[in-house]
Amino acid sequence: MDKQLPPKQLLAAQLLADGLPFKLVSEQVGISLSVIYKWKHIPAFNAYVNELLVQSENKAFQDMFSLKPQAVETVKAMLNSKDSRTAIKAAELILKYGT
């Protein structure tokens, strides 16, 4: 889909998907703010922004999921802590999220 869009639209879409406000996008792309608003009415442009957002969400989920084993090991270490408050907090986490 992105092959259909001109380079400035591709860049603007990426910047919008990254969460930049319209004003900053227009400045970085070198276009007027009104052009960004016009592009937001183009279905292919919106579809590409949405595609980038979904890709970003999927990557964030994968990144977080890959940290799960490390988090489990950290909670295990906390559970064996000599500090009773730390051990209790670890136990609470296990009871709350371990099901």
CATH of the structural domain 2-66, one choice from 1.10.10, 2.60.40, 3.40.1350, 3.40.1360: 1.10.10
CA distance 35 to 81: 58
Q: What is the pTM of this model?
A: 0.68
pLDDT digits (tens, 9 = 90+) for 6-53: 999 999 999 999 999 999 999 999 999 999 999 999 999 999 999 999
- What six digits make up the tokens of 76? 């295990």
Domain parsing of the chain, residue ranges: 2-66, 68-97
Q: What is the DSSP string of 14-30?
A: HHHHTT--HHHHHHHHT
Which residue pairs from 62-68 have beta carbons closer than 8 angstroms and sit at least 24 positions apart in sequence? none
